[in-house]
Amino acid sequence: MIDSSREMQRGNRLRALIPYLFVLPAFLIFALFVLLPILDTVRLSFFDWTGFSAPNFAGLANYIELWTDRLFITGLGNNLRFILFYTVFPIGLALVLTAVMTRRRIRGMSLFRAGYFIPYVMPMVVVGVVWRWIYNPAFGPLNQALGAIGLDALARPWLGDFDAALPAVGLIATWVQYGFCMVLFIAGVQKIDESLYDAAQVDGASAMQQLRHITIPGIRTEISVALVTTFIAALRIFDLVFVTTRGGPGDQTMVTSLWLYRNAFQINRVGYAATIAVAQSVLILAISAVLLRFTRTSDQEEVAQ
């Protein structure tokens, strides 16, 4: 009896270890090459450091400076504006595309799908080159097209225009980002039980109703992944701005990551750059936690039902 209960205990203890064994390999590599440098970044945020000289302890000085740093605050405001173009538009667009593409048989579907996904596949350097050309006021097709249909009045030096620059960059973000959401949603639709749609069809539900009552609830997990990920992408946007406007004109498209990059790589203020990173991450963390909590509650509701 004693033996067997010991064995059982040992078995239970081993059983309790199983989840950790599944997580361990991923966690080890992550901990060493991502988590450790991130923790080091937190440490560095309390230092004055060029990145290659001896660091000087600075206490809270960097954080105090951040509070009144005009470029950080401007950047943060622009990050929030970019949410519209990174999260709202792409998710909406991807939902429409998913609805159109998954519920009926369409000739040449793989061509459409591959075509729609191209923007997300393009390297950022290329995105920058192409869109700077599209927006070019001297020979870009956008202003030429506006001219051709008699809308010269709307033509402007898009990326260099103080009012138009942020929406112009934002539209590129939407163009890049919706493909990501689309892929997530199409993957999610596969799990939906086909009989739900059949029943709906029998009931005479319209395509719109099916989207609202079957597809969207069915891919709620994917939508929440898309929501969190694109939202984070909007708050850490860097390369798109770097290859189009570099924050200009003036500071109209300045974002926190660009300011971080300049501090770290151009003006040798790695300590302060770390402070920006910490502040930015805390903010992202807080808002993601709210978003994740929101989606988790709905998971539980489903279980309760």
Partner 1 sequence: MFKKQSVVLTLSLVAVIALGMFAAPLAAQGNTTLVVWDNLVRPEESAIMDALIARFEEAHPGVTVARTAKSTDDLKATTALALSSPDGPDVAMVNQGQSDMGALVAAGLLEPLDDYAEQFGWFEHFPAGLASLQRWTPDGMQMGEGDFYGIPIQAELVGVYYRTDLFEQYGLSIPTTLAEFEAAMATLAEAGETPLVFGNLDAWPGIHLYSEIQNAELASREWYDQFMFTTGEVDFDIPENIAAAARLQEWIANGWLLKGFEGIGYDDAWQLFSAGTGAMLLTGSWLSGELLPGPHGADIGFFVLPALEEDGFKLTVGGTGYDFSIRAGSPNVDLAAEYINYLYSEETAQALLDAGFLPVYPVDTSTLEDGLVKDIVLGWNHLNSTDSVGYYMDWVTPTMYDTITASLQELMAGRVTPEEFVDVVNADYVAFLLEKGVR
Partner 2 sequence: MTSGAADRPLTLESAATAFIAWLRRLLRRIPIYAFLILFLLIVALPFISISLAAFKTSAELTRGAFTLPAEWRWSNFSDAWTQAHFDWYFRNSAIVAVPVVAVGTLLSIFSGYAFGLMRFPLSRLLFALFLLGIMVPQEAYIIPLYYLLRGIGLVDTYWAMILPQIGMSVCFGSFWMRGFFSSFPADTLDAARVDGCSIWTALWRVLLPNAGAAISTLVVLLFIWTWNDFLIALVVVSSDTLRTLPLGLAFFQGRYASNVPLMAAGAIIVLLPTLIIYVLFQRQFIQGVTSGTLHG
**Positions 80 through 109 that interact with partner 2 (CB under 8 A):** 97, 100-106, 109
- Structure-token match 């309790």, residue found: 16
**Angle, helices 36-44/270-304, rounded to nearest 10 degrees:** 130
Query: In this complex, which beta carbon is closest to partner 2, that of residue 2 or of residue 138?
Result: 138
Say if CB 276 and CB 66 are below 8 A apart: yes
Using rule CB under 8 A, residue 126 touches partner 2: yes
| Strand blocks (E) in 89-158 | none
* Choice between 22 and 57, CB closer to partner 2: 22
Could you tell me if 99 and 209 are in contact, meaning their C-beta atoms sit under 8 angstroms apart?
no
- What is the CB-side half-sphere exposure of residue 160 using CA atoms within 13 A? 9
Nearer Cβ to partner 2, position 166 or 223? Answer: 223
DSSP, res 105? -
- Among 6, 7, 12, 30, the residue binding partner 2 under the rule CB under 8 A is 30
Residue 138's binding partner, choosing from partner 1, partner 2, none, with beta-carbon cut-off 5 to 8 A by kind?
partner 1
Q: Is 33 in the site for partner 2 (CB under 8 A)?
A: yes
Beta carbon nearer to partner 2, 1 or 149 = 149
| Residue 114 lies near partner 2 (rule: CB under 8 A) | yes
**Residues 49 and 56: beta-carbon distance below 8 Å:** yes
Q: Which is nearer to partner 2, 81 or 113 (CB)?
A: 113
- Residue 43: CB minimum distance to partner 2, A: 8
Shortest reach from residue 165's CB to partner 1, in Å: 8
Sign of the Cα pseudo-torsion (291, 293, 296, 297, in order) = negative
Would you say 152 and 146 are in contact if contact means Cβ atoms under 8 Å apart? yes
Q: How far apart are CA 80 and CA 179, in angstroms?
A: 21
Q: Residue 48 — φ and ψ, nearest 5°?
A: -95, 115
- Token pair 């959401």 is found at 181
Smallest distance, partner 1 to C-beta of residue 114, A? 17
Please state the closest distance from residue 80 (CB atom) to partner 2, in A. Answer: 16
Q: Is 145 in the site for partner 2 (CB under 8 A)?
A: no
Please give the single-letter amino acid code of residue 58.
A
Q: How many positions of this chain bind partner 2 (CB under 8 A)? A: 96
Q: Which 152-211 positions form the footprint of partner 2 (CB under 8 A)?
A: 175, 180, 183-184, 186-191, 194-195, 197-198
Residue 268 contacts partner 2 per CB under 8 A? no
CB of residue 164 vs partner 1: minimum separation in angstroms? 9
Least distance in angstroms from the C-beta of 1 to partner 2: 26
Q: How far is the CB of 273 from partner 1 (least distance, A)?
A: 13
Residue 57, SS3 per DSSP:
strand
